[in-house]
């Protein structure tokens, strides 16, 4: 199996004003992106235009938080009825068939204008750095949706328009900082850092540190490593988008196992995922006009998927 494609987003980078973009370059990018999403479900984007220092700040600020004692972090815990706040170690099991829960912690931000459950009293810049990345990732996400619409031969603003309320109450888009602590004690049988799963929503933007460990499973092939490439963002498709495109584009499985090499066990790992979801009330109806899947609202689809994880 060939490697996960790397696409150069320079012609549509965040630093290029939308009205200055060459339509031919957009069509080529849209086609390239959709092609990658039909087999790998994953692509690396280089020259995307999100400044690396914004990403680094979320990594370092999150690490400061994750290294606090459990009793401190508990104050900011995700309530059962919302996807916002701190998620403790072994709380989630992304592959429900595994016997033990994932060895990871996370902090989720869903509302961009609200500091609710944010640890700003102990880490004053926490909200600002998360908000800054959330805003940039939202803009990049919109551009990726434009390219997907072009590649799918639908109205160019169609997908973007279905994601108008990102960061607000009636949209579930989440910026999630993930922390995989060093492996210091016995791992339970079958336990991993992040169980096999596909993402739930439209698309996911993933920033990894340099430790590595993410494996992805292209269609018809075995898992291959998604080795970190500095300065890139890894973009993958979620199940909801697979359903929306009537399986033309695929949401492939991925996982993070316990490192095999002894020296790697002492290293923690960090990643940051931006899960882009359509607005709650958007009706997901097959874009090719077929009736392969029943219509469902964005929020009903997501609630059904989240129920399996917790
Ligand atoms: O940590 C990673 O690299 C992947 C995390 C992931 O797949 C997820 O949270 O959905
Ligand atoms: Fe994932």
pLDDT at position 83: 87
- Section 151-174 average pLDDT: 97
Give the whole-angstrom CA distance, residue 284 versus residue 5.
28
Of all residues in the chain, what percent carry a pLDDT higher than 90?
89
Query: Tell me, what's the ipTM?
Result: 0.99
Q: Where are the domains of the chain?
A: 6-309
Question: Using a 6 Å cutoff on CB, does residue 241 contact ligand 1?
Answer: no
Q: Are strands 269-276 and 283-284 parallel, antiparallel or unpaired?
A: unpaired
| Topology of the domain comprising 6-309 | Jelly Rolls (2.60.120)
User: For residues 118 and 76, is the Cβ–Cβ distance under 8 A?
Assistant: yes
Q: Is the pLDDT of residue 27 over 70?
A: yes
Per-residue pLDDT of 89-108, as tens digits, reads 999 999 999 999 999 999 99
Question: Using a 6 Å cutoff on CB, does residue 202 contact ligand 1?
Answer: no
Q: Which ligand is nearest to the CA of 102?
A: 1
Provide φ and ψ at 214, rounded to 5°.
-80, 130
Per-residue pLDDT of 219-228, as tens digits, reads 999 999 999 9
pLDDT at position 120: 97
Q: Is the pLDDT of residue 309 over 80?
A: no
pLDDT at position 257: 95
Pocket test for ligand 1, best of 195, 239, 254, 276 (most atoms within 8 A of CB): 254
Q: Are strands 6-8 and 42-46 parallel, antiparallel or unpaired?
A: parallel
Question: Using a 6 Å cutoff on CB, does residue 103 contact ligand 1?
Answer: no
Q: For the ranges 17-21, 56-60, 111-115, 145-149, which has the lowest average pLDDT?
A: 17-21
pLDDT at position 138: 98
Give the whole-angstrom CA distance, residue 39 versus residue 138.
25
Report yes or no on whether pTM surpasses 0.90.
yes
Q: Is the pLDDT of residue 156 over 60?
A: yes
Per-residue pLDDT of 246-289, as tens digits, reads 999 999 999 999 998 887 888 899 999 999 999 999 999 999 99
Q: Is the pLDDT of residue 185 over 90?
A: no
Question: Using a 6 Å cutoff on CB, does residue 254 contact ligand 1?
Answer: yes
Take residue 50 and report the two structure tokens written for it.
């999100």
Per-residue pLDDT of 35-66, as tens digits, reads 999 999 999 999 999 999 999 999 999 999 99
Give the whole-angstrom CA distance, residue 302 versus residue 173.
11
Give the whole-angstrom CA distance, residue 11 versus residue 23.
10
Per-residue pLDDT of 72-92, as tens digits, reads 999 999 998 888 999 999 999
């Amino acid at each position: 199996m060939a490697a996960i494609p790397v696409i150069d987003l320079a012609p549509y980078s965040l630093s290029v004003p939308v009205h200055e973009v060459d339509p031919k370059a957009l069509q080529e990018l849209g086609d390239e992106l959709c092609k990658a999403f039909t087999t790998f479900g994953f692509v690396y984007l280089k020259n995307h235009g999100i400044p690396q220092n914004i990403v680094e700040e979320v990594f370092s600020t999150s690490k400061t938080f994750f290294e606090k004692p459990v009793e401190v972090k508990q104050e900011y815990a995700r309530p059962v009825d919302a996807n916002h706040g701190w998620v403790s170690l072994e709380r989630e099991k992304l592959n429900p068939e595994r016997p033990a829960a994932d060895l990871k912690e996370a902090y989720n931000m869903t509302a961009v204008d609200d500091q609710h459950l944010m640890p700003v009293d102990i880490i004053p810049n926490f909200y600002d750095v998360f908000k800054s990345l959330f805003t940039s990732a939202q803009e990049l996400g919109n551009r990726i949706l434009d390219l997907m619409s072009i590649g799918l031969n639908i109205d160019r603003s169609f997908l973007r328009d279905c994601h108008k309320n990102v960061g607000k109450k009636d949209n579930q888009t989440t910026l999630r900082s993930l922390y995989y602590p060093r492996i210091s004690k016995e791992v339970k049988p079958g336990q991993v850092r992040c169980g096999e799963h596909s993402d739930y929503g439209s698309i996911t933007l993933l920033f990894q540190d340099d430790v590595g460990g993410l494996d992805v499973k292209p269609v018809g092939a075995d898992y291959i490593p998604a080795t970190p490439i500095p300065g890139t963002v890894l973009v993958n498709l979620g199940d909801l988008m697979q359903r929306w495109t009537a399986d033309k584009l695929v949401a492939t499985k991925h996982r993070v196992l316990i490192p095999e090499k002894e020296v790697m066990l002492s290293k923690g790992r960090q990643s940051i995922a931006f899960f882009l979801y359509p607005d709650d009330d958007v009706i997901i109806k097959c874009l090719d006009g077929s009736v392969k899947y029943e219509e469902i609202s964005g929020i009903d689809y997501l609630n059904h998927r989240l129920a399996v994880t917790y």
